[in-house]
Amino acid sequence: MSKGTKTSEFGAPKRENHDSEYFYSSQMYTEITPASNREPDGIENPLPKKLVNSIIQGDSKDLSFIPDSSLHLIVTSPPYNARKNYDEDLSLTEYLALIEKVSMEIYPKLVDGGRFIINLANLGRKPYIPISDYISLIMTNLGYIQRGEIIWDKGASAGSSTAWGSWMQASNPTLRDVHEYIQVYSKGTLKRCKDGRIATISREEFMEYTKSVWKFSTVSAKKIGHPAPFPVELVYRCIQLYSFENDIVFDPFMGSGTTAIAALDTDRKYLGVDIKQDFVDHANERIEAYHVEKRYAKILEGKVKGKKSDKIEKSKKPNKNVKSKKSDKIDKSKNK
């Protein structure tokens, strides 16, 4: 086995079995509580059957109906509070209070080592409001461990905005957002209990998803039927990287049901909450359409397999109307 790398004053060209003790003993970390890497306590309470794979119409500021230590992964995209038709048009203080209250409610519901992933965007330019910075501080103060931050590069799908300010002039150029943030947190410890659990991520996915920049397209609000949907791809990646098969995935702002669909597609179970009944109904319609599509795909797959097996069987059956060369020779010798 090759010798592992370690932190160097001039950097390390690669990181293999890396020893970073020298880095974490720096003055930068003397005022920061070290992130625990202990084994989780293993306490997990079952989610009541009536809550498994369901969406509740309610307010996520009160999650008393969910047992403690029963959720494994949270993936959510809170309302952006950008005057969309589903926003409450909250002040910055009110908006951050909402995020703080919901995150506080979720904390005891997560298993030890459970993960909380938030997709969000910063707002405005006059001035710029760094929502991601505010939420990062809130989560840290609540006791969550910061694991890292992913940049979602939306590329050309972000739209053809011309809000660039002063055109080709330094007087007041404006940055055009083509990205969002995906913040990743843990509760209690960075580790999750394995205990025979099955990871479903492929080698190729793992190599790609552990990068801090993800590039994929947005989805159409009109197509999904929600003012601010996020792609199944985003949730799929989070689920594959940060959870095991049959884990419970929770979304406190379920919206169009994307988290539920991604959970089903990866053999997880879901639970969601949304304050608006019409969103709950729409999400359930999308989930039902997903089930129908899957059932239809299985039927088609069965028919294709059936046709293939029929061809194989036919090819095995001898053609009675055609005699073999050997039998022809025998017949000819008899005639002589």
82 and 21 within one domain: no
Mean pLDDT, residues 281-286: 95
Interacting residues of 266 by C-beta distance below 8 A, sequence separation 6+: 200, 236, 239, 240, 245
Output the pLDDT for position 131: 95
The model's pLDDT over 168-184, given as tens digits with 9 standing for 90+, comes to 999 999 888 899 999 99
Assigned domain for 73 exists: yes
Residue 267: count other Cβ atoms within 10 Å of its Cβ: 13
Amino acid at 235: V
Which two structure tokens, joined as six digits, stand for 24? 């974490």
Phi-psi domain of 22 (left: phi exceeds 0; alpha: psi -120 through 50; beta: other):
alpha
CA pair distance 182, 211, nearest whole angstrom: 12
- Order the strands of the 71-76 sheet from edge to edge: 54-57, 269-274, 248-251, 71-76, 110-120, 179-187, 144-153, 213-215
Q: What is the Cα–Cα distance from 186 to 139, expressed in whole angstroms?
A: 10
Pair 232, 289 in one domain: yes
Residue 228 located in a structural domain: yes
Would 327 be classed as within a structural domain?
no
Helix (H, G, I), strand (E, B) or coil at 325: helix
| Cβ atoms < 10 Å from Cβ of 281 | 12
Instruction: Give the mean pLDDT of 270-296.
Output: 94
Name which of 210, 89, 184 is nearest 132 in CA terms. Answer: 184
CB-based burial label for 306 (10 Å; 0-12, 13-18, 19+): exposed
Percent of the chain with pLDDT over 90: 60
Boundaries of domain holding 8: 1-32
- 125 in the same domain as 102: yes
Q: Are residues 135 and 13 in the same domain?
A: no
* Judgement on whether residues 14 and 101 belong to the same structural domain of the protein: no
pLDDT on residue 210: 98
Q: Are residues 152 and 6 in the same domain?
A: no
| pLDDT for residue 258 is more than 90 | yes
pLDDT at position 254 is: 95
Same domain, 18 and 128: no
pTM for the structure as a whole: 0.82
Residue 203: C-alpha distances to residues 52, 198, 200, 266 (Å):
30, 14, 10, 16
Give the three-class secondary structure for 31: coil
